Structure 1
Amino acid sequence: MKMSPVKVFIAYILVIAVCAALYFFLPDVLNRKVTFGDSLYFSVVTITTLGYGDLSPISDVGKAIAAIEALMGVLLIGMFLQTVSNQLLEKEERKRIEAAKDNLKAQYNAWRHDIIYSLLFLAEPGKGVDAELPDRLTDADMFREYFRERWNAIANNISSESYYSNEIVHGLEAFQHHIETFLTVSRISNSQVLKQLTRYVNHLRNLRRRNLDEHDDQKGFMRDLWSILAQWDYSSGYHKKDILLEAIDSA
């Protein structure tokens, strides 16, 4: 069971109360007859290892109780400080991971925007692009609806329009590095999330290795790029939610 500062503090108070009761109810434990207030005072003095000397145990039982209480006090104080420190470290770690998640999500949205911007030029070379259109097409449903009829045109133009195809490849590389950095920073313990993000990295790496001048590689590139941007895979078809954003949120 994970200890918290509150639980350790409660244990500390219980030790004081139990030992105070023992000092009060056990006969001939201390060097004079005491009230419960005296026994409580002696218990606090003992657990904090102050030892003023006005009260002291005289029997073997009293000495054993006092020794155990003093030892328990030292151990519990150490545990209390450790749990407080761990709690602060966990809080800072959680803040750092949340910041990393927010950064990766922002990089992902920017990456989708930039890729879509290049795809719009490839769909109709020489034609201007509405500045607001890439933002709207970052939605997977709108992306599928808009590009379904234009995807073949993009595939036909991607090898001849080297500037925009290079922009897409460089974007894949940059985003791959962002995910790899996130994996390093976040120290993910969820095996499913780790598997999903690692698969995504491998997917991006394989995309970058495609030779867009080769017909088969170009075909595979366009298929894999569609699966990422349109949220599609062979096993389950189209996804209603963004797979990567779900993985990031679950990290």
Structure 2
Amino acid sequence: MDTNKELELFAKRNVALIVLVSIAVFYLVLDAFLNLKLASTYLKLELILFNLAIAILSSAIFFVFIVYIPERRRQLIILNNLKNVYKDFKCECISLFLSAGKDYFDANIDCELVESLVSPENFKKYFSIKDDGLSDRWILISNNFDYDPYYRKALDEEIVIFLKEIEFLLVKFDFDADEEFRFFKNVYRLLFKYRDAQEDDFKMFFGILWQIFAAWSWIDGYSDEDYFSKRIDSC
């Protein structure tokens, strides 16, 4: 867990609480060190302010340790689980891609190769190779998936598992920004919509997979970072 990031997130989510605590601490320090002597008319006001400052500090401590920390721990468990499921999803799908391409190019399916292709840059380079000088590997395996029911079924099973995890995140996670929510919602919608696609729509579906695995977007083009993992880390 990145402590600096968590502190920044806490400050962002609890600005009002931090302001109130700062005022309370300032008053208590001022009262203690300067030993404020107020006229009898203001003694009741001083007592009220002192009690209010103590109440604010007590409530803040209660909120942080009883409410915020347990809830944030729960959210981190959800995020870490999705990150692990996402990596498993990529590894399983890459294994299927390699298996589907063995009729077209020399694809030695081993753990080391699969792990290396999890990297968007390596994935893009590997599946962009034109072994026959005409079509790249990604086009060849997409054709195989389009016509082979075994690969379609296996890929669909992996996508269903992945979609359930995204759905769980959308329901259970407290997003700070609408942009983050829309990103995961859009990934869910596209995969759900096109996973049963046929013919031309299936090519669009493989285009969506390419965006995920090769970290490509219409706006920014290719990236060295995995967009999905980056979004998880930003939550």
Matched positions, count:
209
Q: Once the 2 structures are TM-superposed, how far is the Cα of residue 9 of structure 1 from its aligned partner?
A: 3.7
Seen in structure 2, the aligned counterparts of structure 1 residues 158 and 65 have a Cα distance that, compared at 3 Å, is: same
Greater radius of gyration (CA): 1
CA deviations on 1:118-160 (whole Å, 9 max, x unpaired) are 1111112598622322111111121122222222221222144
Counterpart residue number, 1:132: 112
Shift of residue 224, structure 1, vs aligned partner: 1.9
Query: Pairwise mapping of residues 13-162 of structure 1 onto structure 2 (< 5 A)?
Result: 13-15=29-31, 20-22=36-38, 62=40, 64-88=41-65, 89-124=67-102, 129-148=109-128, 149-162=136-149
CA 1:98 to 1:4, structure 2 compared with 1: closer, same or farther past 3 Å?
farther
Q: Which runs of 5+ in 1 are unaligned?
A: 23-60
Q: Which residue of 1 aligns with 2:230?
A: 246
Contact 1:232 1:238 in 2 (8 A): yes
The answer as to 2:156 corresponding to 1:196 is no
Q: Indicate how the Cα distance of structure 1 residues 243 and 128 shifts in structure 2: closer, same or farther if over 3 A, else same.
A: closer
Q: Which residue of the other structure, out of 191, 197, 209, is the alignment partner of 1:225?
A: 209
Higher helix share: 2
- How far the C-alpha of 1:18 sits from its partner, in A, is 6.3
Which whole-Å CA distance do the structure 2 matches of 1:119 and 1:233 have between them? 21
Q: Partners of 2:142 and 2:77 in 1: how far apart?
A: 37
* Structure 1 counterpart of 2:227, one-letter code: I
**What SS class does the counterpart of residue 240 from structure 1 fall into?**
coil
How far is 1:70 from its partner?
A: 2.6
Whole-Å separation in 2 of the counterparts to 1:110 and 1:193: 22
Q: Distance in 1 between matches of 2:45 and 2:35?
A: 10
Going from structure 1 to structure 2, the CA distance change for 1:10 and 1:77 (only over 3 Å counts) comes to: same
Q: Per the alignment, do residues 216 and 74 of structure 1 end up closer, same or farther by CA in structure 2, a change over 3 Å counting? A: same
Displacement of 1:19 in angstroms is: 6.8
Identity %: 23
* TM-score of the aligned structures, taking structure 1 as reference length: 0.72
Tell me, which stretches of 5 or more residues in structure 2 are unaligned? Answer: 1-15, 129-135
Hey, what does 2:221 align to over in structure 1? 237
Contact 2:146 2:199 in 1 (8 A): no
Q: CA deviation at 1:108?
A: 0.9
Which amino acid counterpart does residue 74 of structure 1 have in structure 2?
Answer: N
Distance 1:245 1:202 in 2: 18
TM-score, normalized by length of structure 2?
0.77
Q: Kindly indicate whether the alpha-carbon contact (under 8 Å) linking 1:231 and 1:243 is maintained by their aligned counterparts in 2.
A: yes
- Secondary structure at the counterpart of residue 21 of structure 1: coil
- Write the mapping of 1:1-12 to structure 2, written as runs, cut at 5 A: 1=16, 2-3=18-19, 5=21, 7-12=23-28
How far 1:82 sits from its partner (Å)?
1.0
Q: Deviations over 1:33-73 (max 9, x none)?
A: xxxxxxxxxxxxxxxxxxxxxxxxxxxx52x3232233223
- What is the match of residue 178 of structure 1? 165
In 1, Cα distance between the equivalents of 2:191 and 2:126? Answer: 23
Tell whether the 8 Å contact from 2:212 to 2:227 is kept in structure 1 after alignment: no
Cross-structure match for 1:208: 195
Instruction: Pick 1 or 2: higher relative contact order, CA cutoff 8 A, min separation 6.
Output: 2
